[in-house]
Chains A and B, each alone.
Chain A
Amino acid sequence: MSRLVQQLVNGTVLGATIGLIALGYTMVYGIIQLINFAHGEIFMIGSYAGLAVYTYVLPDSLTRNPWVTLPVVLLAAAAASAAVAVLAERLAYRPLRNAPRLAPLITAIGVSIALQEIIRLFYPGGKNVLSFPRIISDRTFSVGGVTIAWTSVFAVTAAVALMVALETFVNGTRLGKAMRATSQDREIAKLMGIDTDKVIVVAFALGGALAGVAGVIQGIRFVSLDFHIGFIAGIKAFTAAVLGGIGNIRGAFLGGLVIGLVEALATEYLPQGAAWKDVWAFVVLILVLTLRPQGLLGEQVAVRT
Chain B
Amino acid sequence: MFRGRRSSGRRLGIAIVVAAVVLSACGSNKNETQKGADGSGSGKVVKIGVIAPLSGALTALGVGIRNGADLAVRQANEAQKIKGWKIVLAPEDDTATPDVGANAATKLSDDKSVVAVVGTLNSSVAEKVAPILNNQHVVMISPSNTNPSLTQGTDPNKKARPFDYYFRVATTDAIQGPFAANFAYNDAKKRNVVVIHDKKTYGQGLALQFKAQFEKDGGKVPTVETVEPDDKDFSAVLSRVKRFNPDMIYFGGEYPAASLLTSQADQQGLKVPLMGGDGIYDPTYISVAKQAAEGDYATSVGAPTDQLPTAKAFVDAYNAAKYPDPYSAYGAYAYDAANVIINALAQVLPDQKKIDDALRPKIRQAVQDGSIDGVTGKVSFDQFGDTTTRILTVYQVQSGAWKPLKTEEFK
Contacts and interface: CB of A to CB of B under 8 A. Distances in A.
A3 B239 contact: yes
Contact of B225 (A127, A128, A149, A274): A274
A11 B233 CA distance: 10
Contacts of A39: none
Contact of A224 (B237, B259, B267): B259
B236 A10 contact: yes
Nearest 6 pairs of A and B residues by beta carbon: A267-B236, A275-B226, A264-B236, A10-B235, A224-B288, A274-B237
B226 A274 contact: yes
Interface stretch (B12-20, B26-34, B56-64, B334-342): B56-64
Contacts of A277: 236
A228 B225 CA distance: 24
Contact of A129 (B57, B227, B263, B264): B57
Given A140-B269, A228-B57, A218 B288 contact: no
Contacts of A222: 232-233, 260, 263-264
B190 interface: no
10 contacts: A129-B284, A131-B290, A140-B267, A147-B267, A226-B56, A267-B236, A267-B237, A268-B239, A275-B199, A277-B236
Interface residues of B, number: 36
B53 to A, nearest CB: 9
B interface secondary structure, majority:
helix
A274 B290 CA distance: 26
Contacts of A224: 232, 256, 259-260, 288
Contacts of A223: 263, 288-290
Given A127-B59, A140-B269, A7 B239 contact: yes
A127 B56 contact: yes
Interface string A191-227: 0000000000000000000000000001001111010
Question: How large, as a class, is the contact surface on chain A?
Answer: 35 or more
Interface of A: 3, 6-7, 10-11, 13-14, 120, 127-129, 131, 134, 138, 140, 142, 147, 149, 218, 221-224, 226, 228-229, 231-232, 263-264, 267-268, 272-275, 277-278
A214 B233 CA distance: 14
B267 A226 contact: no
B399 interface: no
A127 B53 CA distance: 10
Contacts of A127: 54-56, 59
A6 B239 contact: yes
Contact of A229 (B232, B263, B266, B269): B232
Given A13-B233, A147-B268, 19 more contacts: A10-B235, A14-B236, A128-B60, A128-B284, A129-B288, A131-B288, A140-B268, A147-B267, A223-B289, A224-B288, A226-B256, A228-B56, A229-B232, A264-B235, A267-B236, A267-B237, A274-B225, A275-B199, A275-B225
B382 interface: no
Nearest to B285: A129
Contacts of B256: 129, 224, 226
Interface of B: 54-57, 59-60, 199, 225-228, 230-233, 235-237, 239-240, 243, 255-256, 259-260, 263-264, 266-269, 284, 287-290
Contact of A147 (B243, B255, B269): B269
A interface secondary structure, majority:
helix
Contacts of A229: 232
B236 A138 contact: no
Contacts of B199: 275
Given A131-B287, A147-B269, A232-B230, A226 B236 contact: no
B233 A14 contact: yes
Q: Which of A218, A267, A268, A273 has the most CB of B within 10 A?
A: A267
Contacts of A273: 240
Nearest to A128: B59
Contacts of A272: 226
Contacts of A3: 239, 243
A14 B235 contact: yes
B221 to A, nearest CB: 15
B110 to A, nearest CB: 25
Nearest to A140: B267
Contacts of A218: 232
A70 to B, nearest CB: 19
A138 B57 contact: no
